[in-house]
Structure 1
C-alpha cells in the first residue's frame, strides 16, 4: 500500500468528479484518502504530490501536525513557519529526514535551493541559511518523512478507489487548521464527493 506514489488525469462524473485520475503527472495535486483506506499511515489523510514521474511519485501528508517544535530541530527556521509552527508528519518513508514546503513571495521567480512544484509553491533546501532565503518566502512548513510510491503503484491505488485526486489550491499546504483539510477538500467539490466527508471514521458504523 502507499508508501509514496504516482498520478494521472481522468475525472469521474460524480458531482464535480470524484477526483480520480489516470494518465498524467499529478505533481502539485492532492491525494485525498477514501474512508475505506484503513492503512494507519494514510487514514483520512491529504497528500500533496511533490513529484510524479514514470518511475514513481512522492508527496507529504498535509494534515498531521505533531507536537515537536521545528526550532528544536532546525534552529532559525521557526520564525518563517505558518501556524501551527510545529513539525508535521509527512509520511512513513525517510522519517529521519526533513522536507520543507514553502510558498515564494509574489514576483520571486526562483532562487538557489528552491525547487518549484506548482505556481509559487516548491520545496526548499534546508541546508540553506534561513536568514537569507526567508525574505523570499511567505509560507513555510516542515515535514519529517514522506509518502513514496514505485512505478505504477499510485495509479493502481487510484484505480482501486483508495484515493481521490484533486487540483490543489495555493492555500492548501499552509492551512492554519490542517486537521480540517480532509473534510474541507471533499466538501468544496460538491455533489456526491462532498458527501464522503460525512462518513464516520469507522465505516462499519455507517
Structure 2
C-alpha cells in the first residue's frame, strides 16, 4: 500500500540526495541549470539568471510540504556541491506509479553519479513510500541517459503511464519500468 513520505534524504557512497535549498543556486548555475547540453537532454528549459533559478526553487521548496512531492538535489559528498537533480516528475497515486527524471552536470558525466542516484531512488521508492511501479524514458538521441537506465534494475518497456494517458506513441522514446515485486525478487 502506497504511503507517501515526500522527499527524504538518501545517502549513497558518494552522494547525498536531499531537498533543494536556496544555497544550491550558485552550484546549479555553475553546474547544470544554465547548460543547454544538460537541460535540453531531458526536456527542461535553460535558466539564465539567478532570479529565474530562485523562482524555480521557490516553487519546488514550497511543494516540499506536500507528501506526494519528490525532488532531490544531487550533492557530491567530497565537495558538498550540487551537481544535478533527480525527481518523480509524475506521480500517479491511484495506481501507485511514479515517473523518474534526472540530470547531472556535464562536468560529471561518465562517472556513474546518475546511475548511483537513480539506483538509490529506485530502492527508496519501493521500501519507503512503497510505490508499485516506477517508470522512466529517454529520447532515442539521448544515448547517455539510455546507458544510465540500462545500468539500473529497470527493464525496457512498451510505454510509460503518461504516454498512455495522453495517447502518445513513444516512437522517439525508449521506455523503462519495474514493479515492486520484481525489484525485491531480483534483489534476493
Q: Under a length normalisation based on structure 1, what TM-score does the superposition of the two structures give?
A: 0.27
Bigger relative CO (Cα 8 Å, ≥ 6 apart): 1
Greater helix fraction, Structure 1 or Structure 2: 2
Greater strand fraction, Structure 1 or Structure 2: 1
